[in-house]
Structure 1
Amino acid sequence: MRIGIIADSACDLPNDFIERENITILPVTVQIGQAVLADVRNEEATMNFLSGETAARAFEAETTPFTVQQVHDLFLGKLVHDYDYVFCITTTRTRSGIHDNAQQASFTILNDYKAVRAASGNNTPFSLRVIDSQSVFAGVGVPVIEAVRMRAAGESPPRIRAHLEAIASNTHAYMVAPDLNYLRNRIKKRGDKSVSFLSATLGTALDIKPILHCNQGETGPVAKVKGFAAASRKLFDFTAERVASGLLTPTVNLCYGGALDEMRALPGYQHLRDVCKDRGVEVFESFMGLSGLVNVGRGALVVAFAAPPHRFG
């Protein structure tokens, strides 16, 4: 059975991994003033877009996911020909409309695919499952990596589906953002209350950085640390402890809103890599996509993994 995997462009994974595993990307369109770019995870295009006046107004960005019709057309135009079963793994529905759009499109796709496949001489069934990752940024990549791994192992779609749903509810994404004023302005525009005005003001004045946690679609602060470097070390060290305690998948996924060499120079990074190597855990690293950058600002660090329930500390 030919199994396809789809993720939206807010899913942070290395581009070479996406290309090698033939992962289809659902673009998110970002508009800042009159400037518009479809995010297809192109680092150079992203950095060119976020320059000059556009960069200064990035917190005002409007993001638009693929519509129901666009998802429908993508499947019928290509995916129902290339695959027999497709997993569409999306950013948590609490933060993006892409999950609901894909879910709505799936109903019409399953009604319309037979004639399309029959026209090319294929009368076998086609199936589609939309999975809510319940996470953001690098967190979305954790179940995507698992889908790739299980596909390579020859697992059946029902087993893959059940596993992905279990992994999604146990995926934890932690983030440190360097610019609280940017983050506060952005979430205010989105109607979010994850970081209050007072916290942003005091945090900026005192150089206090919150560590934010996303699990099961809910996001909130779990720690406050003075200085971005110290907060990054705390996050890396905590992740190393989780790895040593045992993860649910052999994966740690990192993304960073800047050059990856900057991330690799942060304190605690090499220790985490050493622990992962000792435990046979693969580390993925990627440049944060455009939709992530406009939501949390440049220089943000995100670490994600699947693990049993735990407390940060």
Structure 2
Amino acid sequence: MTVAVVTDSTASLDPDDAARGGITVVPTTVIIGARVYTEGVDVTSHMIADALTDSVPVSTSRPSPETFQAVYRALASTGADAIVSVHLSSKVSGTVDAARLAAERVDVPVHVVDTLQVGVATGFAAGCAARSAAAGASPESVAEAARRSAESARVLLYVDTLEYLRRGGRIGRAAALIGSALAVKPILTLEDGVVTPLEKVRTSSKALARLEALGIEAAQSHDGPYDIGVLHLASESVAMSVAQSLARTLGRAEIAVDEVGADIGAHVGPGMIAVTVSAR
């Protein structure tokens, strides 16, 4: 049986990595000012960072059910017997709902996985699903591989300001920090699919040091192999420094650093640094 794996562009997967894993990435829509763009096609994270810095309105939109339908049907027509569709948290986006609606409208069986995660944690889950599919696992087992990865994931976010999360309605439980946002540099995480404050630190340098320490703790909590990655928006040098420090401590040759996708970037703002760890 051939099981195809689908995810969305918020997973921040490198296109080459997605292609090597046989993962189909469905793009989200990003609106900058009055112009509409397709993530991964004609919009970059730098464009998002520049727009946010210049106070140009930025918003995002999930893929439509019709878009998912077209993708699922195309995969079925090229030999997929079943599809596992792995997406970001349903508590911050309607993408999972769109995928489920599409799944009901196609003849091929589609297993939709709500990772209750964001960013590369979703990408890691899709990667686990793809490896399981390549090994010949059943659709149910492929979906379970994605869920296990997502459930094990630890997402740690440093943001310069909570303002972009507030504007985009993705702030979740971190709303409790708004009153003191100017006095602290928050470290956030996801709990049950919702953005949640983890710690409040007084300066950027201390917050980044704490982010590294928490990332090391998360990695060292795994008895077996794990995935780890660093994402950023318009802050490559800082992200590289964090990744190099993590790699030295964890005994890794290197840790991948990528710029976050345009959709996620629109909600976290320039200066965001994220460390994500999940079991393989």
TM over 0.5: yes
Specify the alignment match of 1:51 in structure 2. 50
- 1:51 match: secondary structure: helix
Larger CA deviation: 254-263 vs 20-29: 254-263
**Match status 1:241 vs 2:217:** yes
TM-score by length of 1: 0.79
Equivalent residues, number: 278
Give the residue type in structure 1 aligned to 2:244: Q
- 1:179 match: secondary structure: coil
Q: CA deviation at 1:149?
A: 2.7
Q: CA deviation at 1:193?
A: 4.7
Give unpaired runs (5+ residues) of structure 1.
111-125, 308-313
Specify the alignment match of 2:62 in structure 1. 65
Larger CA deviation: 25-34 vs 246-255: 246-255
Give the residue type in structure 2 aligned to 1:146: C
Specify the alignment match of 2:103 in structure 1. 106
Specify the alignment match of 2:34 in structure 1. 34
- 2:150, 2:228 → 1: CA distance? 14
CA shift digits 1:240-270 (9 cap, x unpaired): 122223256521132111253431124xx32
Identity of aligned residues (%): 22
- 1:73 match: secondary structure: helix
**Match status 1:214 vs 2:200:** no
Residue 180 (structure 2) aligned to one of 199, 202, 216:
202
Larger CA deviation: 3-12 vs 153-162: 153-162
CA shift digits 1:264-304 (9 cap, x unpaired): 124xx3232134445x9x84432101111110101211122
Contact 1:32-1:62 within 8 A present in 2 as well: yes
Specify the alignment match of 1:118 in structure 2. none
- 2:211, 2:49 → 1: CA distance? 27
- 2:11 match: secondary structure: coil
The 5-angstrom pairing of residues 251-270 of structure 1 reads 251-266=227-242, 269-270=243-244
TM-score by length of 2: 0.87
Specify the alignment match of 2:118 in structure 1. 136
Give unpaired runs (5+ residues) of structure 2.
none
Distance 1:254 1:247, change over 3 A: farther
Distance 1:98 1:21, change over 3 A: same
- 1:217, 1:75 → 2: CA distance? 25
The 5-angstrom pairing of residues 147-226 of structure 1 reads 147-184=129-166, 186-187=167-168, 190=169, 192-196=171-175, 199-200=177-178, 202-204=180-182, 206=183, 208-226=184-202
- 1:244, 1:49 → 2: CA distance? 34
- 2:135, 2:22 → 1: CA distance? 16
Q: CA deviation at 1:14?
A: 2.5
CA shift digits 1:94-152 (9 cap, x unpaired): 11111001001101112xxxxxxxxxxxxxxx432111111111221221121133234
Contact 2:8-2:28 within 8 A present in 1 as well: yes
